Amino acid sequence: MIELRTPAEIDEMRPAGRFVASVLEATAAAAKVGVNLLELDAIAHELIRKAGAESCYIDYHPSFGASPFGKVICTSVNDAVLHGLPFDYTLKDGDLLSLDFAASVNGWVSDSAISLVVGTPRDADLRLIETTERALAAGIAAATVGNRIGDISRAIADVARAQGYSINTDFGGHGVGRTMHGDPHVPNNGRPGRGMPLKPGLVIAIEPWFLETTDRIFTDPDGWTLRSADGSRGAHSEHTVAITEQGPVVLTQRSS
């Protein structure tokens, strides 16, 4: 069911957005060569505890997950692009890391993701990350009253295709509110003028993710982590966005 939020409810969602943004900033700053993925999860866990927030991940067990997730942040490295389950892995120079985090504050959820290079970057990785960020910006710009879901999807796809990336539509954006995942689905490819009309009060996560040389993925033996079929690297960017009469409002905007 698609729910529209009042302006007052959107204001109530802002603390969750600020908190999610702050955790991503803290974990991204800590992601250095020699740091373990489990350390990043521990940082996020402690920030949740201090804020009195609730994890959206730790007990999360959808149909596509092998078991409850058990951690509080997704850490996807190199050929992993989504749902990366933190494990005993120490970050190395040149690793491409995607961090995806969602939490509930006062009963409202926000969801966001960023990608970064640990240590010395490859030009191809920076291009991939920059493309996801530009695609996210294009999707947000299209999230205006009077447009449709397909307009967001097409805006994202146009940026990806201009850089030669193909697009997987198995996973994409989604509604956000009292729970992490709700209707509508927001694919990263679509036809303009198609799909649900965008109305004031709709809150969605917009999340382009691309792989360097494929659009095919498989699930890691951990039952969660999604990896590229050909071993190429992936990047992922995401914001929670409220659609208002005044234009899109990014609830998870980071300070940098």
User: Is 83 flagged in the annotation as binding?
Assistant: yes
Residue 218 burial (10 A CB sphere; 0-12, 13-18, 19+): exposed
Rounded Cα distance, 34 and 41, in Å: 15
Q: Is 238 annotated as a binding residue?
A: yes
Backbone phi and psi for residue 81, each to the nearest 5 degrees, phi listed first: -130, -25
CA–CA separation, 226 and 50 (whole Å): 30
- CA dist 126 and 235 (Å) reads 9
Which element (helix H / strand E) includes 240?
strand 239-244
d(CA 102, CA 255): 17
Place of tokens 């489990």: 38
Residues 248, 143 contacting (CB under 8 angstroms): yes
Q: Are 236 and 207 in contact (CB under 8 A)?
A: yes
Locus of tokens 């959206």: 56
207 assigned ligand-binding residue:
yes
Question: Is residue 61 marked as binding?
Answer: no
Q: Is 181 annotated as a binding residue?
A: yes
111: annotated binding-site residue?
yes
Work out the burial of residue 196: count CB atoms within 10 Å of its CB; fewer than 13 is exposed, 13-18 middle, 19 or more buried.
Answer: middle
Question: Is 100 flagged in the annotation as binding?
Answer: yes
Instruction: Cite the annotated binding site for a divalent metal cation by residue number.
Output: 100, 111, 174, 207, 238
Binding-site residues for substrate sit at 83, 181
Q: Which residues are annotated as a binding site?
A: 83, 100, 111, 174, 181, 207, 238
